[in-house]
Amino acid sequence: MLREMIKFNTKVLYVGPLNYGVPSEDLKWVVRSKEKKREEVEQVFDAVVVATGHHSKPRFPCMQGMDTWRRKQMHSHIYRSPEPFRGEIVVVVGNSYSGQEISMELVKAAKEVHHYLGYNYSFPFLDTKGMVVVDDNRVGPLYEHTLPPLLAPPLSFIGIPKKILGLPFFESQGKWIAQLLSGKKALPSCEEMMKSIEEFYHSKEVVGIPKRFTHEIGAIGFEYCDKSAKYVGLPKLQEWRKELCILSLVNSCVNLETYRDSWNDDEKLQEALQSPYFTQLGVELEDPSLQNSN
């Protein structure tokens, strides 16, 4: 069982190369971790996949007077309930998904400042000898937002891209990495990967996209998901999946207050349940007609 292979309540303290200087494919990785109420443990692995994504370290704004204002300031990352703010006035900084939803809950709150300005990429445990750095929220150099040319494939990253249809893309990332580590797929040369990265960076610069937006795919990223799937021989995103995603996004914009509880995509859900690539996790549906007949 997959669950048996996962260690919960364990903090990763350090990840770094054991035999730095050898060819990347021969690298071993030292991992130090500590489970609650237990001693620190050091282990050696053939490969490390950094899958913390981009929602782990809140990003705060730089606002004049912010450091001297003594009232409470909170990021949406740690927000849980509107109750502590009932009857107060709240300023919500940021208007993305979390900012909008928190605003809906805090319509009667006050004098608390909540910052929702996204997240910073942060890997405090990772030692790559400077071969992977975070510069103005760009993690690099990474080939296809996944593999550092000088350390691949023993070191890889999952979940770096933003504004993309996440789960299908991250699944194909994981399968690509697995095929690389098993020898079923091969990477281009280090030089070719670096050239591809430089061309990608240049394409962003010429249209004026700031470095901090390097990993924002945008426009849901259907084409990029298809490109990622191609690496591992998976089919392109099914049309029902694309349409279901678009319907969900439109619903969340048009019906901000009710979209979690009311939707109009049962027909697309039926298509999803019939797909051989859909994994149903044993959730009982109220409408028997939506049960998977396979």
CATH number at residue 90: 3.50.50.60
Same domain for 225 and 127, yes or no, is yes
Query: What CA–CA distance (Å, rounded) separates 291 from 288?
Result: 5
Same domain for 95 and 204, yes or no, is no
From 117, 144, 159, the end of a domain falls on: 117
Per-residue HEC secondary structure of the chain comes to CHHHHCCCCEEEEEEEECCCCCCHHHCCEEEEEEECCCCEEEEEECCEEECCCCCCEECCCCCCCCCCCCCCEEEHHHCCCCHHHCCCCEEEECCCHHHHHHHHHCCCCCCEEEECCCEECCCCCECCCCCCEEECCEEECCECCCECCCCCCCEEECCCCECCCHHHHHHHHHHHHHHHHHCCCCCCCHHHHHHHHHHHHHHHHHCCCCHHHCCECCHHHHHHHHHHHHHCCCCCCCHHHHHHHHHHHHHHHHCCCCCCCCCCCHHHHHHHHHCCCCCCCCCCCCCHHHCCCC
**Both structure tokens of 66:** 């912010």
> Is residue 160 predicted with pLDDT exceeding 60?
yes
Same domain for 268 and 202, yes or no, is no
From 198, 231, 264, the end of a domain falls on: 231
Same domain for 282 and 196, yes or no, is no
Q: Which of 15-19, 45-49, 89-93, 232-236 is least confident?
A: 89-93
Same domain for 146 and 201, yes or no, is yes
> Is residue 162 predicted with pLDDT exceeding 90?
no
pLDDT tens-place string over residues 169-191:
888 888 899 999 999 999 999 99
Same domain for 130 and 93, yes or no, is no
Same domain for 141 and 222, yes or no, is yes
- The DSSP bridge partners found for residue 91 are 113
Same domain for 190 and 148, yes or no, is yes
> Is residue 289 predicted with pLDDT exceeding 50?
no
From 214, 231, 248, the end of a domain falls on: 231
pLDDT tens-place string over residues 49-66:
999 887 777 666 666 777
Q: What is the domain extent for residue 89? A: 60-117
Same domain for 135 and 26, yes or no, is yes
Number of domains in the chain: 3
Which own/partner contact pairs does 74-80 have at CB distance under 8 Å and 24+ positions apart? 74/112, 74/113, 74/114, 74/115, 75/114, 75/115, 75/116, 76/102, 76/114, 76/115, 76/116, 77/119, 79/114
Beta carbons within 8 Å of 179's beta carbon, 6+ residues apart = 185, 232
pTM: 0.75
Rounded to an integer, the average pLDDT of 280-292 is: 44
Query: Residue 177: what pLDDT?
Result: 94
Same domain for 67 and 187, yes or no, is no
> Is residue 294 predicted with pLDDT exceeding 70?
no
pLDDT tens-place string over residues 248-268:
777 777 777 776 676 666 666
Give percent above pLDDT 70 in the chain.
75
Same domain for 49 and 190, yes or no, is yes
Same domain for 49 and 136, yes or no, is yes
